[in-house]
Structure 1
Amino acid sequence: MKQEMIHPVDEKPSLVKMLIYGFQHVLAMYAGAVAVPLVLASAIHLDKEQLIYLINADLFTCGIATLIQTLGLGPKIGSKLPIVQGCTFGAVTTMIMIGGAHGLRGIYGSAMVAGLVTFVISTYFSKMLRFFPPVVTGSVITIMGISLLPVAVMWAGGGNPAAPEYCNPSLIFLAAIVLAIVLFFYRCFTGFWSNIAVLLGLISGTFIAIPLGVTDFSSVGQSAFFGVTTPFAFGWPIFDPASIFAMTIVMLVTMAETTGDVMAVGEIVDKPINEKLLAKALRADGFSTILGGIFNAFPYTAFAQNIGLISLTGVRSRFVVAMAGCLLMILGLFPKMAAVVASIPNSVLGGAGIAMFGMVAASGIKTLSKVDFDDSYNMMVVAISIGVALIPVAMPTFYNKFPEWSQLILNSGITVGSVMAVVLNAILNGAEKNTTEIAQKEYL
């Protein structure tokens, strides 16, 4: 009897390989995950003890959200794709506004309701999938990669533009060395060693950084050994109608970004994405955001930077990403372990980030190679959507004189570019052509 082939997404590597590959995912998203509580705490003037608690709560809930997305929770929640869940940076501005008026309890109350709304409307939102043919998907993936590259560049310069040593040649040189190490292992080795090229680059770069004086392990000694996140640690949530409305708008934008992320992962791992699967992924976002409000964390979405890691390593197993979720939960329980990861210099992360985020853009270009550009409409869809998406990337202050509520959307190149690609394709190519093209594509 012929044995049924297992899709790479459902393969289970050995425990050792899952631990190592999973740790790569943790390193790839850690800086982005802790950035939200760091920025929020500074803006609403939380003390250091509260900040540490927020970071631990965020990591712990990131882990739970990732397990829900990769392994599923019942038959209708979770895409069972290799997607790492993290708190969305797009909600920071809104959370600062809500936190200034109602504190953390206002943030958590609005997040819980917005998460519930996301969960309920996921089935209807997923029907937008027919508006994502290859010309749209390829544009969105390319935009994602290009939009993330400035983050890697900022890391390479030291991470903090206000610091006097920012973009010091020694920091940039360190990032270049890490990038060279990643390329060396990726090119000169095969199989397992090639797959962990990013991890080897990060570890090597951290050791190289020690004599340069840019690695600080002091936070490890100062951190507590064990800490448990408890529900509603800051008090019962406040359900303010205006705050709920603002957070719901954020989640609608996040759903559009998640749609692009899921399409990108589906393309990279060669897994068919249909309305039902997309709805499961969006429900996981909503459910995890509700959990975020309960466990003192934030709204959750798919982390784009880990998509680049999947593309770079070729490791497509969702169980590897599930292992990353377990490791995130452990980091959330043991502050000292989280402090060790936090000690990796930004310049080291930047060197690896250039490779990872560049691979996201390259994946988008690969998808666009399937598009028929003899049709001038497709050319215009790609040109305008990428051009508009790069406005806030090229000039971050471009929309500063617009109303604050609109800046939340306009300053996200990924969101604006995605919407532009969908709208232009619908106008120029038409919904009927979209449906036909999608039916012809094997990965849909």
Structure 2
Amino acid sequence: MGENVDSRNNHAETNEVHLDLTRQELSSESNVLRERRTAKEEAKEILANMKGDIAFGITETPRWHTAILLGFQHYLTMFGATVAIPILLSDSLCIGKSDVVRSELIGTIFFVCGMATLLQVLFGVRLPIVQGGTYTFLTPTFALLALPQWQCPAKPGPELEAVLQNMTSSERTELWQVRMREIQGAIMVASCFQVLIGFTGVIGMLLRFIGPLAIAPTIALVGLSLFGVAAGFAGTHWGISSLTMVLIIAFSQYLKNINIPCLGWSKEKGCSAVLYPIFKLFPVILAILLSWLLCYILTITDAIPDDDSRYGYPGRTDTKRNVLEESDWFRLPYPVQWGIPTVSAAGVFGMLAGVLASLIESIGDYYACARLSGAPPPPTHAINRGIGMEGIGCILAGLWGTGNGTTSYSENIGAIGITKVGSRFVIVIGALIMMIFGMCGKFGALFVAIPDPVIGGVFSVMFGMITAVGISNLQFVDLNSSRNLFIVGFSFFMGLVIPNWLNANQGIISTGNQEVDQIITVLLSTSMFVGGLLGFILDNTIPGTQQERGLAQWRRMFGETADNDDEEHTQAVRHEVMKCYEFPFGNSIVHKWKSVTSYIPFCPTFIEFSCSCRKKKGGPENDDIDAVDGMYLHSVDTGDEKATQTPEQGDNLDAIEGHV
């Protein structure tokens, strides 16, 4: 009998052990289910907090009529800066003032910008960011065209016009197309470097050595080096150009907070008056239209002389009337429309300086765009894709023959902050509008007819802003440090001195090898390359602390934070938050093969290359969101799982145990 009792006791103990094990397994499974459910709920709450007062987030879609209006607004916002680029390039390409090809260049650049924007929004960084022409490519382009074999047969202006009149149509066409093909080849090959460092993930490592003291002179010297071009256009009639500057300053600075009543419609209110910040959104376009109207009045009243040898003649509105008459209503830009691009080592090396400046500026734009559109900061894989896709956009620009590349536009990011609409769908509509207007030849021809002094006023303000954007990077460094003051002053000064000396002494570089001579001449004639290189070398060789150099704040701005030992629950929340940066399709396959895709720098499962010895807990998905550790820690509980159980969760667990 005692044996039976012992047997029953042992059997009971065994059953109790099995019951405890079963309860633990079910408890574990319950915790997993609870974590998954809670992760989605917390991620939804975090995204709602980040969205704030944004009307439409990046994954939301406004109604079609609202999306069209907002997309057209983005087109108008980027219009002024983009239309200026082909006009600025025309003289160096030896294109006549009244040549229809100017309108074709304008149409081509808008068409390509539309394509690049579509690629960036759909497959690149996946933020609502607009791609437009880049001014960082202008300086190396002018340096390349200043080589003896690419100089115009006469000085741009009346002298060149006289030479062009004595040429046949085919000779005039070949004169500028051969130069355009050289620029195309240089841009395409140099942009392959941007594609490479983007899709291979090298950009993340490069940023560790490039700080504000290298970026500030690189970008600022783009604007400073173009002061002669702005002065040439503005000097054709200082009265009109000064009026254009005053109007832009008044609209963008003094009147920017004044909203104008406009007619609006909504389903709830119907037709009603809506206050709209017109001056803040469209200062350049408004200034161009008003100055253009004044030029028209002065033209029909003959207040501006009709003799091309007298001062002020370029201010007339009838000097380029034939461009509008001769241009086509519809023209589809196509690849290699100016001929097969040519490549030279001098052009490629020169363009690399523009590529580097453009991609670093774009990274800052990514974080600004994410912040204003209510999205989480972009993870590493999204930045890699964004930079790589910008490189593809530049290759397309070279293939189509815009004479320029593409980059992210800060102006349109500001428009998102004003309108509170961060929808990707709106940017897609805007990109389609760019492509449609790019195929309308008359539309491009209309803006070729803008009088030169009006363009000069716009250039004066724009180039000044580019300079200021570069200087603004110095906010991160300690300007009380004599080390930093020396680097800044020397880099800026030599960035102006060396190119100016080379332009005044053309042909002085003589190594015995023509290709080497051209490479050295183009590089040293590019002020942004000289200033940026000196800033980079001095900043990385002269001793200085991270705080003194501004690298600590600089890296925080780019999303780099200290390592954090987060729980798996936190990683699950982050993974849900970062889904907006995944591919538009095929993500299930990417996650299924994450053992392979975790080593692909542009995949959502990518594990960032790091020198840290700490093993990350969350698997491949963990690294996607390292950039936002600091942002989410206050919203996610990283303590013990048991402490996070709610009463309802405890009751559910008891019910499961009772069922067992």
User: Are 2:213 and 1:127 aligned?
Assistant: no
Alpha-carbon distance in structure 1 between the residues aligned to 2:247 and 2:556: 38
* Residues 1:288 and 1:233: Cα distance change in structure 2 (over 3 Å): same
* Residues 1:307 and 1:327: Cα distance change in structure 2 (over 3 Å): same
Give the alignment's Cα RMSD to 1 decimal: 4.4
Q: CA deviation at 1:421?
A: 1.8
Q: CA deviation at 1:147?
A: 4.0
Matched residue SS, 2:51:
coil
User: Are 2:556 and 1:441 aligned?
Assistant: yes
Structure 2 partner of 1:383? 489
TM-score by length of 1: 0.75
Alpha-carbon distance in structure 2 between the residues aligned to 1:419 and 1:234: 34
What is the correspondence of 1:177-188 to structure 2 with a 5 Å cutoff? Answer: 177-179=246-248, 181-183=250-252, 186-187=255-256
Percent identity between the aligned chains?
20
User: Are 2:81 and 1:28 aligned?
Assistant: yes
Matched residue SS, 2:277:
helix
Matched residue SS, 1:302:
strand
Structure 2 partner of 1:156? 234
* Residues 1:56 and 1:195: Cα distance change in structure 2 (over 3 Å): closer
* Residues 1:210 and 1:221: Cα distance change in structure 2 (over 3 Å): same
Alpha-carbon distance in structure 2 between the residues aligned to 1:315 and 1:150: 34
Q: CA deviation at 1:209?
A: 1.8
Q: 2:292 aligns with which of 203, 206, 222?
A: 206
* Residues 1:397 and 1:267: Cα distance change in structure 2 (over 3 Å): farther
Structure 1 partner of 2:445? 339
Structure 1 partner of 2:503? 397
Structure 1 runs not aligned, ≥5 long: 158-165
* Residues 1:432 and 1:172: Cα distance change in structure 2 (over 3 Å): closer
Q: CA deviation at 1:293?
A: 4.8
Alpha-carbon distance in structure 2 between the residues aligned to 1:113 and 1:366: 31
Q: 1:215 aligns with which of 290, 309, 317?
A: 317
User: Are 2:51 and 1:6 aligned?
Assistant: yes
Structure 2 partner of 1:349? 455
Structure 2 partner of 1:417? 531
Q: CA deviation at 1:128?
A: 1.7
User: Are 2:69 and 1:16 aligned?
Assistant: yes
Contact in 1 for aligned 2:116/2:131 (Cα 8 Å): no
Alpha-carbon distance in structure 1 between the residues aligned to 2:441 and 2:380: 39
User: Are 2:125 and 1:84 aligned?
Assistant: no
Q: CA deviation at 1:393?
A: 7.8
Structure 2 partner of 1:160? none
Q: CA deviation at 1:426?
A: 0.7
* Residues 1:144 and 1:269: Cα distance change in structure 2 (over 3 Å): farther
Contact in 1 for aligned 2:74/2:412 (Cα 8 Å): no
User: Are 2:244 and 1:175 aligned?
Assistant: yes
Alpha-carbon distance in structure 1 between the residues aligned to 2:285 and 2:190: 36
Larger displacement relative to structure 2 (103-112 or 253-262):
103-112
What is the correspondence of 1:140-151 to structure 2 with a 5 Å cutoff? Answer: 140-148=218-226, 150-151=228-229
Q: CA deviation at 1:27?
A: 1.9
After superposition, the C-alpha distances for 1:316-349 in whole angstroms (9 at most, x for unaligned) are 9696776664444233311100111222223223
Structure 2 partner of 1:161? none
Structure 1 partner of 2:108? 57
Which amino acid is the alignment partner of residue 537 of structure 2?
V
Matched residue SS, 1:225:
coil
Contact in 1 for aligned 2:241/2:455 (Cα 8 Å): no
After superposition, the C-alpha distances for 1:331-390 in whole angstroms (9 at most, x for unaligned) are 331110011122222322333444444334444444423322333222222222222223
Structure 1 partner of 2:361? 261
* Residues 1:331 and 1:212: Cα distance change in structure 2 (over 3 Å): same
Alpha-carbon distance in structure 1 between the residues aligned to 2:366 and 2:412: 14
TM-score by length of 2: 0.53
After superposition, the C-alpha distances for 1:378-414 in whole angstroms (9 at most, x for unaligned) are 2222222222223368778356333433232222222
Alpha-carbon distance in structure 1 between the residues aligned to 2:93 and 2:479: 44
Q: CA deviation at 1:226?
A: 0.7
What is the correspondence of 1:82-121 to structure 2 with a 5 Å cutoff? Answer: 82-86=130-134, 88-89=137-138, 90-91=140-141, 94=144, 103=178, 112-121=188-197
* Residues 1:281 and 1:428: Cα distance change in structure 2 (over 3 Å): farther
Q: For the pair shown, which has the larger CA radius of gyration, 1 or 2?
A: 2
Alpha-carbon distance in structure 2 between the residues aligned to 1:49 and 1:436: 49
Structure 1 partner of 2:654? none
Structure 2 partner of 1:163? none
Which amino acid is the alignment partner of residue 300 of structure 1?
G
Q: 1:426 aligns with which of 529, 534, 540?
A: 540
* Residues 1:263 and 1:192: Cα distance change in structure 2 (over 3 Å): same
Alpha-carbon distance in structure 2 between the residues aligned to 1:207 and 1:314: 31
Alpha-carbon distance in structure 2 between the residues aligned to 1:125 and 1:323: 30
Alpha-carbon distance in structure 2 between the residues aligned to 1:207 and 1:341: 13
After superposition, the C-alpha distances for 1:111-136 in whole angstroms (9 at most, x for unaligned) are 55554454234433553211233444
Alpha-carbon distance in structure 1 between the residues aligned to 2:505 and 2:382: 35
Contact in 2 for aligned 1:182/1:197 (Cα 8 Å): yes
Structure 1 partner of 2:639? none
Which structure: greater helix fraction?
1
Larger displacement relative to structure 2 (132-141 or 271-280):
271-280
Structure 1 partner of 2:168? none
* Residues 1:286 and 1:382: Cα distance change in structure 2 (over 3 Å): same
Structure 2 partner of 1:231? 335
More contact order relative to length (CA 8 Å, sep ≥ 6): 1
After superposition, the C-alpha distances for 1:222-260 in whole angstroms (9 at most, x for unaligned) are 21111112334456x47x7xx354443244223222134
Contact in 2 for aligned 1:68/1:284 (Cα 8 Å): yes
After superposition, the C-alpha distances for 1:49-101 in whole angstroms (9 at most, x for unaligned) are 766655543442233224334x14x35x777644423583324664786998x
Q: CA deviation at 1:207?
A: 1.3
Structure 2 runs not aligned, ≥5 long: 1-43, 151-173, 260-275, 300-315, 372-376, 510-516, 560-660
Structure 1 partner of 2:349? 249
* Residues 1:293 and 1:145: Cα distance change in structure 2 (over 3 Å): closer
Larger displacement relative to structure 2 (128-137 or 330-339):
128-137
What is the number of equivalent residue pairs in this alignment?
A: 423
After superposition, the C-alpha distances for 1:257-286 in whole angstroms (9 at most, x for unaligned) are 213432553576586688655543442343
